[in-house]
Amino acid sequence: MNLKTEAKEIIQTVKENRFYAECPCCGESIQLKKAGLFYLNDFTPEAESLDCKKIDPIFTPRKLNPDDAKVIFHPIDYIVFNGMKENSLKNIVLLDREAKISEHRKIQRSIEKVIGTGNYEWQTLRVMDDGKIREEW
């Protein structure tokens, strides 16, 4: 049996039974048969009708590929190497959520200032087989 057939059988089993998942963001339960499950690009009608901006409210609306993003969480949420997936880097985007507390906003402003004044540098570090770190010039 090939992978596509296996995937379709698993999806069918999920649809025929009472499987639920919990949203990691809001904790709400959703019945998986209503989730529009699909395998690779073999979309179900439910999946076809989904609004990508609702699924991915961060990258898609900004025309960024989520595969180009690296999560760091602190001091900002993401570094996006825009174009990396296509091997053609266009720019680097520092992406962070709206600051809700003053300390977070302070950090954002200081990062903006550093970038605005060009006060940053590139360093390459190599981790050797023996675990030692070597800086390249």
Cβ atoms of 96 and 77 within 8 Å: the answer is: yes
pLDDT for the residue 103? 93
pTM: 0.57
Q: What is the pLDDT along the chain (137 residues), one digit of tens a residue?
A: 677 788 778 777 877 777 777 765 566 777 776 766 665 556 566 655 555 555 577 887 888 988 899 999 889 999 999 999 999 999 999 999 888 899 999 999 999 999 999 999 999 999 999 999 999 88
Is the Cα torsion angle 57, 63, 69, 73 positive or negative in sign? Answer: negative
User: CA 57, CA 84: separation in Å to the nearest integer?
Assistant: 20
pLDDT for res 49: 57
The predicted structure's pLDDT at residue 57: 77
What is the per-residue pLDDT for 40? 58
Cα 34 from Cα 42, distance rounded (Å): 16
- What is the model's pLDDT at position 70? 93
| Rounded CA separation 105/1 (Å) | 54
Identify the pLDDT of residue 32: 72
